[in-house]
Amino acid sequence: MQDTPEERVRQKVLKHMIVSLGFPKGLLLVERALEGFPKSACRRIDILSLMKDGDTLKPLLLVECKAGDIAPSAKMQLAGYNAHVKAPFFALANESCVHFGYWHCKDVRWLDFIPPYFQIEVEFKKIKA
């Protein structure tokens, strides 16, 4: 991976997720192409956390990393990617902040931090029930 500002943000977020928030390293996908797009329009997700659901793995948290300010278009990009991924939780991150979102009723609620993995996992199981 090239040492770009966005890559530095991605590595910082990954380290925080694994070391401080308890995300299992083996359940994290990094810089993966989204399926369903032509190769000429390849779309890549920055970070996708999965969780075990019985014998399968399900998307849990989609994270989009930005090198600079988080523009309104970044939320649209994240929403477009998540339309394919279908993760119940999503986040935007840059060098100085994180916006963690989830659907509540018909609105998106935003927090200024990513909760620990076990808390997100518990919420996922509530949604599924």
Alpha-carbon distance 65 to 95, whole Å?
9
Residue 6 · residue 65 · CB < 8 Å: yes
Q: What is the CATH number of the domain that holds 22?
A: 3.90.1570.30
Burial of 94 (0-12, 13-18, 19+ CB in 10 A): buried
Report pLDDT digits (tens) over 58-82: 999 999 999 989 998 999 999 989 9
Give the domain range for residue 84.
5-128
Report pLDDT digits (tens) over 95-114: 999 999 998 888 889 999 99
Residues 6 or more apart from 54 whose CB is under 8 A from it? none
Q: Number of structural domains, the chain?
A: 1
The reported pTM is 0.91
Tokens at 51, concatenated:
């969780």
pLDDT at 125 over 90: no
